Amino acid sequence: MRSWLPLLFACFACSPTSAQRASDSPPRIEERVAEIPQTALGAPWAFIGFAVTTPTDPQWFVATSTPRGGSMGRHLSASDAHTAVLVLSSEILDQPVDTDSALLELARARHAKFSERWQIGKHEETIVRHAGTRCARHTLEAIQLEDTSPRKSAAKANQQRDSMSVIGMSCVHPTDSTLLVEVGVSERGRAITNSPAVVRDAEQAIASLAFHRFNEQALQKSAEAARTTGLADAEAVLKPYVDADAAWARYFLAQIIERARPAPENAGVRIKALLEPAAERGLADAQWSLGTLYLRGAPGVPKDPSLAEALLRRAAERGNAGAAYQLGIAQLSGADGIAANKKEGALWVQRAAVRGLKEAQELLKGTRDKPTKK
């Protein structure tokens, strides 16, 4: 197997200059800054080729997010000792998975890797049909491996070993059998049993898994056409997927149009028409791009700061670092028609930095390194 290919299009980010002027002191790093509470409970969350519906329980927070997958977490006790994690992932495989037996073998091999750190007590894999494709439904129960070292603390550590239970499903994408999509929930704590609330949310996430028409080669081919032969050829490659209302195809075509030089006629209007359905389906990158469009405006698309802020917030709450940074910058500076809110703006910049956005990291470093006025 090979790891996911990098994003084909670099995300654009706004300049930190205005935020540097607006913030006279370094933003304070708050506890659990990486945990982003969700306000759109039970909303669609789309990725390249698939989507799920987020849990309706407000205790779940977004932990990670990329165009290829994401994760959410939940604390089940006052401490971090009892937690649950919802993982959504996709992976391009070296070979297509065309039979039930091949999928079952793949799923068993992948989940057997838990034995490197856990003592597996139960592991079941069953082939099921879901959304027009083959899936391997799995349950797994395990306990941390025993500490066999001669350390004095080993006996105490062994009495406090964590247990883990996993419920999930691995599916072959119905239009590209080299794409494996996985959704699952794991619960971890000491001597745990499956919490009814966690089981409920796991089953809801699994049942909500939906697919968008997808082909990795088409994605690559459209990007290559945009670089070499032009917009028309790239658009022709993506058209069948756009016509099938695939959120990822709408987003990528919008990016191609936005970057085309010379700019095509009515570019802003076309980009808006492509992004709106993708944003509604929960694709965070589309929400970010559409929010940026309304923030800056374009011929045929007047500025709408209120709608821009709402879209940037939705994307940021789905873990999109670029949207978090852009929203934070606007709130720190009070620019572009978005109301100033330095406390919340600093928090969004911190969250963007935690998620690896270089501009946010440099901004925080710059404010920390700024000499103190005497």
Q: Same structural domain for residues 229 and 193?
A: no
How does residue 12 score in pLDDT terms, banded at 50, 70 and 90? Answer: very low
Among 182, 211, 240, give the residue marking a domain's end: 211
* Buried b / exposed e along 153-182 (16+ C-beta atoms within 10 A): eeeeeeeeebbbbbbbbbbbbbbbbbbbbb
Q: Same structural domain for residues 151 and 70?
A: yes
Q: Same structural domain for residues 77 and 139?
A: yes
Nearest to 329 by CA among 16, 26, 36: 16
Cβ–Cβ < 8 Å for 308, 343: no
Q: Same structural domain for residues 204 and 221?
A: no
How does residue 366 score in pLDDT terms, banded at 50, 70 and 90? Answer: confident
Range of the domain at 285: 216-369
Q: Is residue 12 part of a domain?
A: no
- Read off the tokens for 158: 């062994």
Length of the chain in terms of residues written: 374
Please tell me the predicted confidence (pLDDT) of residue 369: 61
How does residue 367 score in pLDDT terms, banded at 50, 70 and 90? Answer: confident
Q: Determine the Cα–Cα distance for residues 268 and 112; give it in Å rounded to an integer.
A: 49
Q: In this model, does residue 75 exceed pLDDT 50?
A: yes
Three-state DSSP at 129 gives strand
Please tell me the predicted confidence (pLDDT) of residue 156: 77
CATH code (residue 234): 1.25.40.10
- Report the pLDDT averaged over residues 88-97: 96
| pLDDT, tens only, 260-317 | 999 999 999 999 999 999 999 999 999 999 999 999 999 999 999 999 999 999 999 9
Mean pLDDT computed over every residue of the chain:
88
Q: Is residue 32 part of a domain?
A: no
Cβ–Cβ < 8 Å for 368, 25: no
Q: In this model, does residue 9 exceed pLDDT 70?
A: no
Q: Same structural domain for residues 70 and 204?
A: yes
Q: In this model, does residue 78 exceed pLDDT 80?
A: no
Q: Is residue 116 part of a domain?
A: yes
What are the residues whose beta carbons fall under 8 Å from the beta carbon of 207, sequence distance 6 or more? none
Among 172, 190, 211, give the residue marking a domain's end: 211
Please tell me the predicted confidence (pLDDT) of residue 370: 60
Helix (H) or strand (E) holding 155: helix 154-159
Q: What is the DSSP letter of 33?
A: T
Q: In this model, does residue 175 exceed pLDDT 60?
A: yes
End-to-end alpha-carbon separation of the chain, Å?
58
Positive or negative CA dihedral for 326, 337, 262, 289? positive
Q: Same structural domain for residues 70 and 162?
A: yes
Q: Same structural domain for residues 321 and 354?
A: yes
Q: Same structural domain for residues 266 and 334?
A: yes
Q: Same structural domain for residues 268 and 305?
A: yes
Q: Is residue 28 part of a domain?
A: no
Q: Same structural domain for residues 279 and 232?
A: yes
Q: Is residue 284 part of a domain?
A: yes
Entry pTM = 0.86
Among 211, 244, 278, give the residue marking a domain's end: 211
Nearest to 114 by CA among 199, 186, 196: 186
Q: Same structural domain for residues 55 and 198?
A: yes
Q: Is residue 268 part of a domain?
A: yes
Q: Determine the Cα–Cα distance for residues 25 and 40; give it in Å rounded to an integer.
A: 32
What are the residues whose beta carbons fall under 8 Å from the beta carbon of 352, sequence distance 6 or more? 321, 322, 324, 325, 328, 359, 360
Nearest to 202 by CA among 72, 336, 8: 72
Q: In this model, does residue 147 exceed pLDDT 90?
A: no
Q: Same structural domain for residues 203 and 267?
A: no
Domain count, the chain: 2
Q: Is residue 307 part of a domain?
A: yes
More confident residue, 169 or 26: 169
CATH code (residue 61): 3.40.1000.10
Q: Determine the Cα–Cα distance for residues 175 and 189; give it in Å rounded to an integer.
A: 38
Cβ–Cβ < 8 Å for 212, 247: yes
Q: Is residue 89 part of a domain?
A: yes
